[in-house]
Amino acid sequence: MSNPFVPVAVPDQGLPAARVEALLACRPRAGQVALLCDTRPLHRLLGRYRGGRGLNAGRAGRAQAGSAGRYRGVGEHVAMRMPLPGAPIVTAGCPPEAVAARMARLSDRIGALLGDLPAPDRARAELVAIFTEFLLIHPYMDGNGRVARILFRRGAALLDLPLSPRWTLDARPYGAGLSMSLLGARRAPQMMDRFMDRYFADPRAAG
Protein backbone atom coordinates (compact mmCIF):
# COMPACT_ATOMS: atom_id res chain seq x y z
CA MET A 1 0.00 0.00 0.00
CA SER A 2 1.92 3.05 -1.21
CA ASN A 3 1.30 6.64 -0.24
CA PRO A 4 3.16 9.76 -1.41
CA PHE A 5 2.87 11.23 2.09
CA VAL A 6 5.75 9.17 3.52
CA PRO A 7 8.48 6.97 1.97
CA VAL A 8 7.57 3.94 4.10
CA ALA A 9 5.59 0.80 3.42
CA VAL A 10 2.15 0.87 5.03
CA PRO A 11 0.57 -2.48 5.95
CA ASP A 12 -2.97 -3.25 4.91
CA GLN A 13 -4.20 -2.72 8.45
CA GLY A 14 -2.74 0.79 8.39
CA LEU A 15 -0.70 2.75 10.91
CA PRO A 16 -1.77 3.85 14.39
CA ALA A 17 -3.10 7.39 14.53
CA ALA A 18 -0.29 8.42 16.89
CA ARG A 19 2.27 7.27 14.31
CA VAL A 20 0.50 9.14 11.50
CA GLU A 21 0.43 12.31 13.60
CA ALA A 22 4.14 11.94 14.42
CA LEU A 23 4.98 11.61 10.72
CA LEU A 24 2.88 14.67 9.97
CA ALA A 25 4.62 16.68 12.71
CA CYS A 26 8.01 16.04 11.03
CA ARG A 27 6.97 17.90 7.89
CA PRO A 28 7.54 21.65 7.30
CA ARG A 29 4.68 23.86 8.41
CA ALA A 30 3.39 24.37 4.87
CA GLY A 31 3.27 20.62 4.33
CA GLN A 32 1.39 20.10 7.57
CA VAL A 33 -1.16 22.75 6.67
CA ALA A 34 -1.70 21.20 3.23
CA LEU A 35 -2.38 17.77 4.76
CA LEU A 36 -4.76 19.21 7.33
CA CYS A 37 -6.66 20.99 4.57
CA ASP A 38 -6.95 17.72 2.63
CA THR A 39 -6.82 14.81 5.08
CA ARG A 40 -7.26 12.06 2.50
CA PRO A 41 -3.55 11.07 2.48
CA LEU A 42 -3.68 10.86 6.28
CA HIS A 43 -6.79 8.73 6.11
CA ARG A 44 -5.12 6.40 3.66
CA LEU A 45 -2.22 5.89 6.06
CA LEU A 46 -4.68 4.83 8.73
CA GLY A 47 -5.52 1.89 6.50
CA ARG A 48 -8.43 -0.16 5.29
CA TYR A 49 -9.89 -0.81 8.77
CA ARG A 50 -10.07 -4.57 8.44
CA GLY A 51 -11.36 -5.95 11.70
CA GLY A 52 -12.34 -2.50 12.98
CA ARG A 53 -14.74 -2.29 15.88
CA GLY A 54 -16.83 0.66 14.71
CA LEU A 55 -20.35 0.34 13.34
CA ASN A 56 -19.11 1.28 9.89
CA ALA A 57 -15.92 -0.80 9.71
CA GLY A 58 -17.67 -3.61 7.81
CA ARG A 59 -19.55 -1.15 5.60
CA ALA A 60 -16.27 0.40 4.45
CA GLY A 61 -14.90 -2.97 3.42
CA ARG A 62 -18.08 -3.95 1.61
CA ALA A 63 -18.42 -0.62 -0.17
CA GLN A 64 -15.00 -0.74 -1.80
CA ALA A 65 -11.72 -2.37 -0.89
CA GLY A 66 -10.03 0.95 -1.70
CA SER A 67 -12.17 3.14 0.55
CA ALA A 68 -9.16 4.34 2.54
CA GLY A 69 -8.12 7.78 1.36
CA ARG A 70 -11.33 8.83 -0.35
CA TYR A 71 -14.50 10.60 0.70
CA ARG A 72 -17.85 8.87 0.87
CA GLY A 73 -19.68 8.74 -2.44
CA VAL A 74 -23.26 8.25 -3.60
CA GLY A 75 -24.99 5.51 -1.65
CA GLU A 76 -22.36 5.39 1.10
CA HIS A 77 -24.04 6.30 4.37
CA VAL A 78 -22.59 6.09 7.87
CA ALA A 79 -24.39 5.24 11.08
CA MET A 80 -24.10 5.98 14.77
CA ARG A 81 -25.73 4.64 17.91
CA MET A 82 -27.05 7.25 20.29
CA PRO A 83 -25.36 7.05 23.73
CA LEU A 84 -28.58 6.08 25.52
CA PRO A 85 -29.77 2.64 26.70
CA GLY A 86 -31.71 0.92 23.94
CA ALA A 87 -31.23 3.79 21.52
CA PRO A 88 -31.46 2.92 17.80
CA ILE A 89 -28.75 3.20 15.18
CA VAL A 90 -29.31 6.36 13.13
CA THR A 91 -27.79 7.92 10.03
CA ALA A 92 -24.85 10.19 10.82
CA GLY A 93 -22.99 12.78 8.79
CA CYS A 94 -24.20 14.79 5.84
CA PRO A 95 -25.68 13.15 2.71
CA PRO A 96 -22.88 11.47 0.71
CA GLU A 97 -23.50 13.62 -2.36
CA ALA A 98 -22.77 16.74 -0.26
CA VAL A 99 -19.49 15.52 1.26
CA ALA A 100 -17.06 16.79 -1.39
CA ALA A 101 -18.48 20.33 -1.48
CA ARG A 102 -18.66 20.67 2.28
CA MET A 103 -15.12 19.35 2.69
CA ALA A 104 -13.89 21.86 0.09
CA ARG A 105 -15.41 24.68 2.16
CA LEU A 106 -13.95 23.24 5.34
CA SER A 107 -10.53 23.01 3.67
CA ASP A 108 -10.68 26.73 2.90
CA ARG A 109 -11.63 27.42 6.50
CA ILE A 110 -8.72 25.35 7.85
CA GLY A 111 -6.28 27.09 5.52
CA ALA A 112 -7.55 30.51 6.59
CA LEU A 113 -7.22 29.69 10.29
CA LEU A 114 -3.71 28.29 10.03
CA GLY A 115 -2.63 31.06 7.68
CA ASP A 116 -4.01 34.00 9.66
CA LEU A 117 -2.83 32.86 13.12
CA PRO A 118 -5.50 34.80 15.03
CA ALA A 119 -5.41 35.66 18.73
CA PRO A 120 -5.59 32.61 21.05
CA ASP A 121 -9.26 33.03 22.02
CA ARG A 122 -10.42 33.26 18.42
CA ALA A 123 -8.04 30.49 17.30
CA ARG A 124 -9.37 28.20 20.02
CA ALA A 125 -13.01 28.81 19.13
CA GLU A 126 -12.39 28.35 15.41
CA LEU A 127 -10.41 25.13 15.92
CA VAL A 128 -13.29 23.67 17.93
CA ALA A 129 -15.73 24.80 15.22
CA ILE A 130 -13.61 23.09 12.52
CA PHE A 131 -13.39 19.88 14.57
CA THR A 132 -17.17 20.00 15.04
CA GLU A 133 -17.87 20.55 11.34
CA PHE A 134 -15.57 17.68 10.35
CA LEU A 135 -17.49 15.30 12.60
CA LEU A 136 -20.86 16.61 11.41
CA ILE A 137 -19.80 15.95 7.80
CA HIS A 138 -18.30 12.51 8.61
CA PRO A 139 -16.53 12.41 5.24
CA TYR A 140 -15.18 8.85 5.42
CA MET A 141 -16.82 5.47 5.79
CA ASP A 142 -14.71 4.79 8.86
CA GLY A 143 -11.85 6.38 10.77
CA ASN A 144 -13.46 9.82 11.05
CA GLY A 145 -12.70 10.08 14.75
CA ARG A 146 -9.01 9.33 14.36
CA VAL A 147 -8.60 11.80 11.50
CA ALA A 148 -10.52 14.46 13.45
CA ARG A 149 -8.33 13.93 16.51
CA ILE A 150 -5.17 14.27 14.42
CA LEU A 151 -6.59 17.42 12.83
CA PHE A 152 -7.38 18.88 16.25
CA ARG A 153 -3.98 18.06 17.77
CA ARG A 154 -1.86 19.26 14.83
CA GLY A 155 -4.02 22.32 14.39
CA ALA A 156 -3.60 23.17 18.06
CA ALA A 157 0.17 22.72 17.81
CA LEU A 158 0.40 25.01 14.77
CA LEU A 159 -1.67 27.61 16.60
CA ASP A 160 0.41 27.37 19.80
CA LEU A 161 -2.57 26.10 21.78
CA PRO A 162 -1.27 23.44 24.21
CA LEU A 163 -3.58 20.47 24.74
CA SER A 164 -4.14 18.36 27.82
CA PRO A 165 -2.56 14.87 27.95
CA ARG A 166 -6.17 13.67 28.04
CA TRP A 167 -6.34 14.25 24.27
CA THR A 168 -5.34 10.85 22.88
CA LEU A 169 -5.37 9.81 19.24
CA ASP A 170 -5.93 6.07 18.99
CA ALA A 171 -8.16 5.68 22.04
CA ARG A 172 -11.19 7.95 22.14
CA PRO A 173 -10.58 10.49 24.92
CA TYR A 174 -14.26 11.41 25.09
CA GLY A 175 -17.40 9.52 25.96
CA ALA A 176 -21.09 10.00 25.30
CA GLY A 177 -20.76 13.71 26.02
CA LEU A 178 -19.28 14.33 22.59
CA SER A 179 -22.23 12.75 20.79
CA MET A 180 -24.70 14.70 22.86
CA SER A 181 -22.81 17.96 22.28
CA LEU A 182 -22.66 17.30 18.54
CA LEU A 183 -26.42 16.76 18.46
CA GLY A 184 -26.97 20.24 19.85
CA ALA A 185 -24.11 21.95 17.99
CA ARG A 186 -26.26 23.37 15.20
CA ARG A 187 -28.69 25.03 17.57
CA ALA A 188 -26.20 25.86 20.34
CA PRO A 189 -22.54 25.89 19.21
CA GLN A 190 -21.47 26.75 22.75
CA MET A 191 -22.23 23.14 23.73
CA MET A 192 -19.16 21.95 21.83
CA ASP A 193 -17.10 24.87 23.14
CA ARG A 194 -17.92 23.85 26.70
CA PHE A 195 -17.33 20.17 26.05
CA MET A 196 -13.98 20.61 24.27
CA ASP A 197 -12.69 23.10 26.84
CA ARG A 198 -11.44 20.26 29.06
CA TYR A 199 -9.01 19.07 26.39
CA PHE A 200 -6.96 22.26 26.38
CA ALA A 201 -4.04 22.55 28.80
CA ASP A 202 -5.70 25.63 30.37
CA PRO A 203 -9.40 24.75 30.66
CA ARG A 204 -11.59 27.71 31.46
CA ALA A 205 -14.24 25.69 33.25
CA ALA A 206 -14.22 22.62 35.39
CA GLY A 207 -13.93 19.46 33.28
Res 52: pLDDT: 43
Is residue 9 situated within a structural domain? no
Most confidently modeled of 48-52, 108-112, 178-182? 108-112
Is residue 86 situated within a structural domain? yes
Of 75 and 154, the one with more pLDDT: 154
Is residue 1 situated within a structural domain? no
Say how far apart CA 58 and CA 48 lie, in whole Å.
10
Is 90 exceeded by the pLDDT of residue 122?
yes
Is 50 exceeded by the pLDDT of residue 64?
no
Give CA 177 to chain center in angstroms.
17
Give the closest residue to 142 by CA, choosing from 38, 34, 70.
70
Of 49 and 87, the one with more pLDDT: 87
Is residue 72 situated within a structural domain? yes
Q: How far is CA 188 from CA 129, 146, 164, 182, 195, in A?
A: 12, 25, 24, 9, 12
168: domain CATH number is 1.10.3290
* pLDDT tens digit sequence for 28-57: 999 999 999 999 999 999 875 443 444 344
Res 91: pLDDT: 60
Res 203: pLDDT: 82
Is 70 exceeded by the pLDDT of residue 137?
yes
Res 14: pLDDT: 81
Is residue 128 situated within a structural domain? yes
pTM: 0.86
Res 61: pLDDT: 45
Is 80 exceeded by the pLDDT of residue 201?
yes
| pLDDT (mean) for 115-129 | 95
> How many structural domains are present in the chain?
1
Domain residues for 143? 17-199
